Structure 1
Amino acid sequence: MIYRVCFVCTGNICRSPMAESVFRARVVEAGLEDLVVADSAGTGGWHEGEPADPRTVSVLEEHGYGSEHTARRFQPSWFARLDLVIALDAGHLRALRRLAPTEADARKIRLLSSYDPAAGEDLDVPDPYYGGRDGFEECLEMVEAASTGLLAAVREELEGRAA
């Protein structure tokens, strides 16, 4: 059975496509591409149908990640097919919890940085959209740091299913 993860930010052009690309690469490195599927969406539809922000694309490509992406808006009906919904900040977490049709669906929502043991108390991945390139580099570092822990959690979940 496929394990499905969806990363969610505001417009689905910066943070969530970055997280999707990094996590997808971790999944492939782990040899789990037949078992784990990653995608992304935004809480709003402002950029639906657009590619990722050019700064996201350039930072991803410079660090060896794929960058093919088309923005879309998260739909409440998706909860039924998703195993894990990863919010990039507390605002997304609250928005997603409001969209969750059931308590079980709300329990599928987690903050990405909660998977980084070194993250500290502030678990928000800051939105780099209104800043310079440095913000996109910082975002990538935070996403990479959390992706290792996220992959370990997903692997544990898969092993639990197999048992």
Structure 2
Amino acid sequence: MTYRVCLVCMGNICRSPMAEVVLRATLAEHGLDEVQVDSAGTGDWHVGGPMDQRAAQTLAEHGYDGSAHRARQFTGDWFARYDLVLAMDTANLRTLRRLAPAGQEVRLFRSFDPSAPAEAEVPDPYYGGQDGFDEVLRQVKAASEGLAKHLADELR
């Protein structure tokens, strides 16, 4: 059985692709090979383009490879493909909830980080400096660990 997760931000070039790469590696470390991870954006500005260079560089500096990423746009029909859809922030959470069929659960990604406050977001680093990308990486690593533990309990 395959379990599918989609991580969603605004343009799918910074936060959600970083989270996709980190979550995929974290799940592999936990032996959760049955979980597939994708990412997408709610907007279409960057569709087909690579990950933001700063995001890719931050990942590379920590041993992750984001070079294969190409931005995609999440649309309402995607809900049928995924068991879990996770938003990086409340603005994208609202957008996803408007697109979602009745009864579809959509959550914030950081809700899986036990050290994060309720309604914690992964902030958009796009208009800031390198420290924003470093913070995003720290946050997605923590949420990825929490999600991996959750899925290990849920799927086993």
TM-score of the two chains, using structure 2 as the length reference: 0.96
Residue 78 of structure 1, CA deviation = 1.1
| 2:107 paired with 1:110 | yes
Question: What per-residue deviation string (whole Å, max 9, x for no partner) do you get for residues 117-139 of structure 1?
Answer: 11124511110000011100000
Aligned residue number for residue 48 of structure 1: 47
Structure 2: gaps (5+ residues): none
- Separation of aligned partners in 2, 1:148 and 1:126: 19
Residue 57 of structure 1, CA deviation = 0.3
| 2:99 paired with 1:99 | yes
Letter in 2 for 1:92: N
Structure 1 segments (4+ residues) deviating >4 Å: none
Aligned residue number for residue 39 of structure 1: 38
Aligned residue number for residue 133 of structure 1: 130
Instruction: Indicate the SS of the match to 1:86.
Output: strand
- Separation of aligned partners in 1, 2:114 and 2:151: 16
Residues 111 and 118 in structure 2, CA contact (< 8 A), matched pair in contact too: no
Residue 155 of structure 1, CA deviation = 1.6
Residues 10 and 41 in structure 2, CA contact (< 8 A), matched pair in contact too: yes
Question: What per-residue deviation string (whole Å, max 9, x for no partner) do you get for residues 30-57 of structure 1?
Answer: 1222x01001000000000000000000
| 2:76 paired with 1:76 | yes
- Cα RMSD, aligned residues only: 1.0
TM-score of the two chains, using structure 1 as the length reference: 0.92
| 2:145 paired with 1:148 | yes
Residues 108 and 119 in structure 2, CA contact (< 8 A), matched pair in contact too: no
Residues 111 and 119 in structure 2, CA contact (< 8 A), matched pair in contact too: no
- Separation of aligned partners in 1, 2:3 and 2:91: 25
Aligned length: 155
Instruction: Indicate the SS of the match to 2:7.
Output: strand
Residue 104 of structure 1, CA deviation = 2.4
